[in-house]
Structure 1
Amino acid sequence: MLRLRCCVLNHLLSSPATSPASHLHRLVSAAAPAPAAPPNATFAVEDYLVETCGLTRAQALKASAKLPHLKSPSNPDAVLAFLAGLGLSGADVAAAVARDPRLLCAKLDKALASNVAGLAGLGLSRCEIARIVSLAGYSLGNKSAVSKLHYYLPLFGSPEKFIQAMKFNTNLLTYSLERVTKPNVAFLRKCGLGACDIAKLCAARSRMLTINIDRLRAMVAFAEGLGVPRGSRMFWRALNAVAALREENIAAKVDSLKNIFRWSGAEVGIAFCKAPMVLALSKDLLQSKSDFLISEVGLTPAYIAPRSTLLTFSLEGRLKPRYYVTKFLKENGLLDHDRDYYSAVILTEKVFMEKFICPHKEAAPQLSEDYAVACKGEVPTRFRFSGTKNLQ
């Protein structure tokens, strides 16, 4: 039975050009269980995990605790051969086993081979199947795993997005669709999220598909409470930001924003509505950006709140270099003094170069070079504003 399933599986996964019959024969032979160890032989699981699976000693010690009933290398050997035949490298196999050691106990003929053949039947490539097997581990032995993929692939829109979601939540194939996942998705739709927004949100925060519905309702309430209404185009981003934090940390983040930027509660709501991910920024990072924007650039807290997108840009790679360029141009009469700093920051790199660097090649030939240096975290001499008008 095992050999038959392996043959069927590899026929589905392979093409004559890439997987000749000799490869199939080697895979089938390698995946066949080895003879059971003699009754009196002692099977050292921890040593096997290190020497055969490639785990570190610390990983093996932790993993072996989850394999108390493993007494023989027979089934693990067959599973490892099967994984290698799917195209997983030694490092991939080690990572998969460390993530879920029970994978070594999966029944190859009744679970893995059957389900992997089912994945091939869904039109997934060999590479995609290998990645899903690596992430799903023992849960791929669930009889309903393939049927769940029938639901998840259209939900995410592509195998790649589903695999991305699996990286953050390897339990996607273990939770009940009817009792957990589908009700959560239905609730998100009631909140005004379309299929595309749900796919983007769940690819980044896939635990939203498996958490308790009450917890999901609480996330929605937090997002609404911070000023982002259901149905708005920013709502999925607001949920994405809220989902990155524990409930008890959200209030602390709001207090930090108030203290660091001297914002009122209403201004925090305005800032969050414009750029929800400010909630996910660290206190130190927010403080450094506040120090620069308020103390050096001279922006007011009231100005920053509705332009909180400023806080999502790199301080060293964007905020500072573009400030230095615009100030240099103003100091030397090449740019109107009332030209808005924010309008320079939000431009793409290409457009910024076209509008603020290229037009001044003759008047300030070193500007492009100085800007490139500033983007690396340094401050060129010409950007230190000694008051001189000499552009050379």
Structure 2
Amino acid sequence: MFVAGRFDPMLVSLARRALLQARGVLALPAAGAQTLLLRPSSTSSESDSFTVLYLVNACGLSPESAVSASRRVWFETPSRPDSVLGLLKERGFSRTQITDVVGRYPGVLLASLDAILVPKIDFLRSRGFSDSDIARVIGAAPRLLARSLDNHLRPTLDYIVELVQSGEDAVAAIKRCPRMLYEDPGILLTPKITILRENGVPRANIGHLVLYHGPIFLASPEQFKEAVNRVKALGFEPSKVGFVTALHVIRGMSEPVWRRKVGVYGKWGWSEEEVALAFRRHPWCMAASESKITKVMDFFVNEMGLDSLHIARRPVVISLSLRRRIIPRCSVFQVLLSKGLVHTHSLGTSLIVPESRFLEEFVTCYLGKAPQLLDLYKEKMGLASKF
């Protein structure tokens, strides 16, 4: 914690230099020239310097960030800032989180503990947030601490609980998208939820979207409505949960990125209609990177010898890990296939079932005819763990 007079000399020098530069009283040298340090103007004050040095030494800000923050907060003694930092540290905030909070919301250093900070933190704890949750949420959206407890935080959290139908799920939703608790729900959430309801999306599926894909609501109402219309145009039924999944994927990429991914699949012989069909079957196939799509398709077509359209009918495999799932299991499957123990149409099943079922149905039951299977699988899984 900060103790008056105990400043790191190097930080003091850097902070003063940044402060003088910001005031225009430190001339920056030309290449090869000596630095010219002018005396501070009469408008410089010890209080300004104290604030900057405190922000650097006690809060961990860079000298430049401290100068910027000092334009929004000012103090002559460390009493109040020390108590705020002490509270944050006591409640589990890491040094990095404290630096982030102060850097983005310097005013927190002058906030009253009893009237402002403690009641809000205790409220969040009473609603199911752990200390680490609170540090994470406030670290991501520090100005939550500037929001009114009774006029904003409480009704906003209640509204989110109503949407997801569970206090525990509301906590999970806010952890995934802290701005959901900070922003005015009448601006951030309600207009988009109205769009979903008008298009026939069930309440449960809206709750699913809020819970798992909260950042989608950061879009403007116009952008959100456009995405809804695109998903409908691709053939998704608003009453199905796949609609909100597809909406999340669509909002997660620009139109040019979408077109590039369609082009990647096109290189493997898929038509646009087949891409659309694969997307309807498994929307996550379009969330994979272009590199991931290429590597998975190359493996199945060139290593496994499959027709690329076989993958179009089972697009879920695009989302699987190539090293941890596809290669180990396909290595086993190829042995079984070579011995005539399985048929190609079983490949999709072998890839998507849980590991316990895979071992039971594709490894242990065939050890009498292919005793090397288990060792092969363990070897490939061991190799996968190295990547």
Distance 1:270 1:119 in 2: 44
Change (3 A) 1:87 1:245: same
Contact residue 175 and residue 210 of structure 1 kept, 8 A: no
Distance 1:101 1:41 in 2: 16
1:275 corresponds to = 282
Contact residue 282 and residue 315 of structure 2 kept, 8 A: yes
Q: Which of 207, 227, 232 matches 2:235? A: 227
2:146 corresponds to = 141
1:243 corresponds to = 251
Identify unmatched segments of 5+ residues in structure 2: 1-44
1:349 corresponds to = 355
Q: Please state if 1:104 is matched with 2:109.
A: yes
Contact residue 199 and residue 238 of structure 2 kept, 8 A: yes
Aligned length: 335
CA deviation after TM superposition for structure 1 residue 375, in Å: 2.4
Q: Please state if 1:205 is matched with 2:213.
A: yes
Q: Which of 183, 207, 216 matches 2:224? A: 216
Q: Which of 52, 57, 69 matches 1:51? A: 57
Change (3 A) 1:102 1:193: farther
Q: Please state if 1:329 is matched with 2:332.
A: no
Secondary structure at 1:234 match in 2: helix
Change (3 A) 1:250 1:64: farther
Distance 1:183 1:53 in 2: 39
Q: Which has the higher contact order (CA 8 A, sep 6+)?
A: 1
Secondary structure at 1:340 match in 2: helix
CA deviation after TM superposition for structure 1 residue 206, in Å: 1.9
Q: Please state if 1:68 is matched with 2:71.
A: yes
Distance 2:181 2:70 in 1: 21
Q: Comparing 120-129 with 314-323, which one deviates more in the overlay?
A: 120-129
Secondary structure at 1:71 match in 2: coil
Identify unmatched segments of 5+ residues in structure 1: 1-38, 379-392
Distance 1:112 1:181 in 2: 26
Change (3 A) 1:54 1:153: farther
Amino acid at match of 1:316: R
Amino acid at match of 2:355: E
Q: Which of 242, 266, 269 matches 1:262? A: 269
Q: Deviations over 1:197-246 (max 9, x none)?
A: 33332344323334321111111122223332322231111012112113
Contact residue 321 and residue 375 of structure 1 kept, 8 A: yes
Contact residue 317 and residue 376 of structure 1 kept, 8 A: no
Q: Comparing 123-132 with 335-344, which one deviates more in the overlay?
A: 123-132
- RMSD of aligned residue pairs (Cα, Å): 2.9
Contact residue 124 and residue 159 of structure 1 kept, 8 A: no
Q: Please state if 1:302 is matched with 2:309.
A: yes
Contact residue 293 and residue 318 of structure 2 kept, 8 A: yes
Contact residue 128 and residue 168 of structure 2 kept, 8 A: no
Distance 1:178 1:69 in 2: 29
Distance 1:320 1:360 in 2: 19
2:99 corresponds to = 94
Change (3 A) 1:370 1:92: same
CA deviation after TM superposition for structure 1 residue 104, in Å: 3.1
Q: Deviations over 1:250-304 (max 9, x none)?
A: 2333233323x32111101111011111212111111111111112222223222
Distance 1:94 1:319 in 2: 42
TM-score by length of 2: 0.76
Distance 2:299 2:59 in 1: 51
Secondary structure at 1:172 match in 2: helix
Contact residue 59 and residue 102 of structure 2 kept, 8 A: yes
CA deviation after TM superposition for structure 1 residue 102, in Å: 4.4
Q: Comparing 117-126 with 187-196, which one deviates more in the overlay?
A: 117-126
2:16 corresponds to = none
Change (3 A) 1:190 1:363: same
Identity %: 27
Q: Please state if 1:190 is matched with 2:190.
A: no
2:17 corresponds to = none
Distance 2:381 2:125 in 1: 47
Contact residue 132 and residue 163 of structure 1 kept, 8 A: no
Q: Which of 66, 89, 98 matches 1:84? A: 89
Distance 1:282 1:186 in 2: 32
TM-score by length of 1: 0.75
2:374 corresponds to = 368
Q: Which of 318, 336, 360 matches 1:311? A: 318
Distance 1:336 1:121 in 2: 56
Q: Deviations over 1:121-175 (max 9, x none)?
A: 5465555545444443122221122321121233344555445544554432342
Distance 1:203 1:66 in 2: 34
1:6 corresponds to = none
Contact residue 43 and residue 71 of structure 1 kept, 8 A: no
Secondary structure at 2:181 match in 1: coil
